[in-house]
Amino acid sequence: MESPMHNLPFAPDPASALSPHVSAAAGSAAVVRLCDCNRSCAFDAGRLAAAGAPVACHHALCGAELGVVESDLAAGREVFVSCTQQSALFGALADAHDAGGQIHFFNLREHAGWSAESAQATPKLAALIAAATTLPEPEPVSGVQLRAGRRLLIVGEAGAALGWAERLKGSFEPALLITGRAGDVELPAVNAYPLWSGRPLALSGHLGAFELSWEQRNPIDLALCVRCNACVRACPEGAIGFDLQVELDRCRDHRACVAACGEIGAIDFARQEVTRSERFDLVLDLCAEPLLKRVELPDGYAAPGRDPFAQALAVQALGELVGEFDKPRYVAFEAALCAHSRSRKTGCTNCIDVCATAAIRADGDVIAVDPYLCKGCGTCTTACPSGALGFQYPPVAELGLRVKTLLAAYARAGGEAACLLFYAAQAGGAVIERLARRGRGLPARVIPVEVWSADAVGLDLMLGSLALGACQVAVLAAGSHDCTPLKGQAGHGQAILTALGYAGEHLRIIDADDADDWPALESALWAWAPATGVAAPARFRLLAKKRETLDLVLHHLVAGAPAADAEGGLPAAIALEAGAPFGQVRATDACTLCMACTGACPAGALRAASDGFRLEFVERHCLQCGLCVASCPESALGLEARLLLGDEARRARTLRAAETFHCTRCGKAMGAAPLIESMLARLSAHAMFATEAERARLRMCGDCRVIDMMSTEPAVNAWDLTE
């Protein structure tokens, strides 16, 4: 289903303070018009112009001054309007002049104007104006197409299910699966839609392609039944009701019903084929226990429970999903970077564990993402240690460019101690709007950054924003189904920053479920003292590949770390909590240098030396995925989450080395001594090596074993053999 982009202006890095649109604003090509909404907020055009943002300020742009916008559009100017509340009005005006592509909207009122510090918000205003006017719309994201017809499955107890089937048979193509009896219910006399009974086994699929399998428990096949009720009249125990369900506990095996059914053949107490399946476009689940138990349910599936009002709302929502829809591919997957599995040994399962829609599953050595089920929360991309999963709505590279533009414009306008607030467009935007209307609004140093999903703000974007000049990053978790992964990423980042000597709290995840939680956002931001930021913002851009971005960001943070000038200097390594995407592998003496781990490592962090029997490790490449630990037959490896600083992390170091084992007869090299000794220990108890001479051959090369056997064991002549 198509999802709105919410007007997020991402684009290539501007070459100047304000790129082409704003530089032309003083002329006829483009104009930026701010409205203080009936003087409810203060915009100083003079101060903004001095800060590098030439604008025109108005008081009632949607009312008495609407003609100004109309004149701009009629003259062919590109217009940037700082009002999202009246975007429908301005959009209709633009359409009337056939100029829909000439007008753009951005929010200054709730984001900066309605604030207890609005008088100090000029740098933030300049930053928001720069981002809105210098960066065009993001590139389109590839997608998938969903097609949903009117085939509606209604599953549940007979009473409610039949009631909705009768109501909806004129607007949908209903099919009914009765899962249980509910009072004195009679099946409709007219067979207007498919009707089955049984126990649901599994429901899978997505909008337009659901598949239900169930077990036919009722001896009466309702798909064959003509509803003559002959079986009801024939049953001596009254075990068959008018819903044509057989109460097997009351049935005494007279089989009078079978005889009454006759040539129709709808009743079979010894049915062999009891498992059935059908496909549907939509599902209305009226069961007391929903068929799907997921945090995020797929579009086209509704489980409203027993409440009639909730059921009515669910039916209305399902009706809106009939048709064809384009849905973005929120996540890109690069299989070569995936660390899920090797040789049937499981390593990283982060994405599978955190996916709320069951859209990610194991697929051999890698994972597979179902774009039809994915709803774009982005938690998988946050949890992925390798960057095999990358969020595309928008990509980190484009979002990082927006951050860079905001921070650069804020600094040029004299702003200090910038704090970025990432928020989800819908849920987070509602909290910010409520805060602006009822509370103190956002502090002047807090710059809001809209994203599709707050869950997709990973460690690369958090630390990257700090490297680009922010002193703090907050993520408003409104709309998140589970902010635990976010908090984990923030915890890793804060541990690194603290160890590097950057004082204060730099990363904060703010819990807020909906707009009513605006006091939590207010207290979290207004009571937050600025932290120590980088001395000089980085000049690079955030990259599409997660590990490459983290390398750049960490190098910049380490290069300017305050701890370098403190007593004791920088630590050699920074301890992190388990689950961090950085760390080392430890090898015990149990390691035999079989090198199974080197074949399993997806990132090339473990490798066999070319000039001897050594296991080498490059810590910079380690993902802490655990594949090496799972693949080690000796259980000799372990993980330790940490961040190793300096060039040592880029160099190969020896984890385990061993002498060469030589043939005891000819001296030929046979392999690593621990590996050979381990093999000898395992084989010494075997019946084939019962004698000392036989065990001694195990220490010989293949050629010497043959020679030894020929020289020490008596030969058998063919003429000595008997039948």
Tokens for 94, please give them: 């633009």
Element spanning 575, H or E: strand 573-575
Q: Among 470-484, 577-591, 644-658, 698-712, whose mean pLDDT is lowest?
A: 698-712
Rounded to an integer, what distance in angstroms lies between the CA atom of residue 527 and that of residue 293?
39
Half-sphere exposure of 42 (CA within 13 A, CB side): 12
Please give the pLDDT value at position 183: 65
Please give the pLDDT value at position 702: 83
Rounded to an integer, what distance in angstroms lies between the CA atom of residue 91 and that of residue 100?
7
Please give the pLDDT value at position 402: 97
- Residue 363: inside a domain, yes or no? yes
Q: What is the pLDDT of residues 89-135, one digit of tens each?
A: 999 999 998 988 899 999 999 999 999 999 999 999 999 999 999 99
Handedness of CA 669, 675, 678, 682 (dihedral sign): negative
pLDDT at 348 over 90: yes
Please give the pLDDT value at position 721: 66
Q: What is the largest CA-CA distance in the chain?
A: 121
**494, 555 Cβ separation under 8 angstroms:** no
Tokens for 352, please give them: 């599978």
Q: What does R_g of the chain's alpha carbons equal in angstroms?
A: 35
pLDDT at 11 over 80: no
Same-domain status, 690 and 653: no
Q: Residue 424 pairs with which residues in a beta bridge? A: 451
Same-domain status, 643 and 703: no
**419, 446 Cβ separation under 8 angstroms:** yes
Please give the pLDDT value at position 25: 37
Please give the pLDDT value at position 249: 82
Rounded to an integer, what distance in angstroms lies between the CA atom of residue 560 and that of residue 337?
31
11 vs 187, residue with greater confidence: 187
Q: Which pLDDT band holds residue 53 (cuts at 50, 70, 90)?
A: confident
pLDDT at 718 over 80: no
Q: What is the pLDDT of residues 407-439, one digit of tens each?
A: 999 999 999 999 999 999 999 999 999 999 999
What phi, psi does 93 have (nearest 5°)? -65, -40
- Residue 611: inside a domain, yes or no? yes
Q: Residue 325 pairs with which residues in a beta bridge? A: 146
pLDDT at 260 over 80: yes
Q: How far is CA 321 from the centre of its chain?
A: 24
**pTM recorded for the entire structure:** 0.87
641 vs 197, residue with greater confidence: 641
In terms of residue numbers, what domain contains 675? 660-718
Same-domain status, 632 and 614: yes
Q: Among 84-88, 466-470, 632-636, 668-672, whose mean pLDDT is lowest?
A: 668-672
- Residue 559: inside a domain, yes or no? no
CATH number of the domain that residue 624 is part of:
3.30.70.3270
Question: What average pLDDT does this structure show over 270-298?
Answer: 92
Beta-carbon contacts of 130 under 8 Å, excluding residues fewer than 6 positions away, are: 14, 17, 18, 22, 52, 53, 405, 406, 408, 409
Question: What average pLDDT does this structure show over 543-570?
Answer: 95
Q: What is the pLDDT of residues 349-396, one digit of tens each?
A: 999 999 999 999 999 999 999 999 999 999 999 999 999 999 999 999
pLDDT at 195 over 70: yes
Q: Among 234-248, 321-335, 552-566, whose mean pLDDT is lowest?
A: 234-248
What b/e sequence results for 122-136 when a residue is b if at least 16 CB atoms lie within 10 Å of its CB, and e otherwise?
bbbbbbbbbbbbbbe
Question: What average pLDDT does this structure show over 55-67?
Answer: 92
Domain-terminating residue out of 391, 411, 445: 391
Please give the pLDDT value at position 714: 67
Q: Specify the amino acid at residue 290.
A: P
Q: Which pLDDT band holds residue 717 (cuts at 50, 70, 90)?
A: low
583-587 and 637-644 strand pairing: antiparallel
What domain count does the chain have?
Answer: 3
pLDDT at 684 over 50: yes
- Residue 683: inside a domain, yes or no? yes
Closest by CA to 225, choosing from 256, 260, 250, 201, is: 260
pLDDT at 6 over 60: no
Q: Specify the amino acid at residue 407.
A: L
DSSP 332-356: EE-GGG--SEETTEE---HHHHH-S
Please give the pLDDT value at position 143: 92
pLDDT at 13 over 80: no
Same-domain status, 590 and 646: yes
Domain-terminating residue out of 391, 407, 425: 391
pLDDT at 546 over 90: yes
Q: Which pLDDT band holds residue 484 (cuts at 50, 70, 90)?
A: very high
Same-domain status, 701 and 652: no
Please give the pLDDT value at position 720: 65
Q: Among 15-24, 152-161, 475-484, 537-546, whose mean pLDDT is lowest?
A: 15-24
Mean pLDDT, rounded, of the chain: 90
Please give the pLDDT value at position 242: 87
Closest by CA to 208, choosing from 325, 359, 358, is: 325
pLDDT at 587 over 80: yes
Q: What is the pLDDT of residues 294-332, one digit of tens each?
A: 999 999 999 999 899 999 999 999 999 999 999 999 999
Please give the pLDDT value at position 270: 85
Q: Which pLDDT band holds residue 14 (cuts at 50, 70, 90)?
A: very low
Contacts by residues 353-358 (CB-CB < 8 Å, ≥ 24 positions apart): 353/383, 354/379, 354/380, 354/382, 354/383, 354/482, 354/485, 355/379, 355/380, 356/294, 356/295, 356/296, 356/481, 356/482, 357/294, 357/295, 357/296, 357/297, 357/298, 358/294
Tokens for 138, please give them: 């993001």
Rounded to an integer, what distance in angstroms lies between the CA atom of residue 605 and that of residue 602?
8
pLDDT at 26 over 80: no
Tokens for 202, please give them: 């599994």
- Residue 530: inside a domain, yes or no? no
Q: Specify the amino acid at residue 96.
A: A
What angle separates helix 459-467 from helix 396-412, to the nearest 10 degrees?
30
151-157 and 282-285 strand pairing: parallel
Q: Among 401-410, 505-514, 610-619, whose mean pLDDT is lowest?
A: 610-619
Q: Among 173-187, 190-204, 403-417, 502-516, whose mean pLDDT is lowest?
A: 173-187
Same-domain status, 372 and 345: yes
CATH number of the domain that residue 378 is part of:
3.30.70.20
Tokens for 432, please give them: 């910010």
Q: Both ends of the chain: CA-CA distance in Å?
A: 81
Q: Specify the amino acid at residue 515.
A: A
Other CB atoms within a 10 A radius of the CB of residue 591 amount to 24
**281, 208 Cβ separation under 8 angstroms:** yes
6 vs 476, residue with greater confidence: 476
**421, 444 Cβ separation under 8 angstroms:** no
Rounded to an integer, what distance in angstroms lies between the CA atom of residue 677 and that of residue 634?
13
> What is the side-by-side strand order in the sheet with 573-575?
573-575, 637-644, 583-587
pLDDT at 58 over 90: yes
Rounded to an integer, what distance in angstroms lies between the CA atom of residue 493 and that of residue 490?
5
Q: Which pLDDT band holds residue 620 (cuts at 50, 70, 90)?
A: very high
Most confident segment among 52-61, 130-139, 170-179, 231-240? 170-179
- Residue 267: inside a domain, yes or no? no
pLDDT at 517 over 80: yes
- Residue 121: inside a domain, yes or no? no
Question: What average pLDDT does this structure show over 61-89?
Answer: 93
Domain-terminating residue out of 391, 410, 440: 391
51 vs 426, residue with greater confidence: 426
- Number of helices and strands in the chain (H, E): 22, 32
- Residue 417: inside a domain, yes or no? no
Rounded to an integer, what distance in angstroms lies between the CA atom of residue 443 and that of residue 72?
33
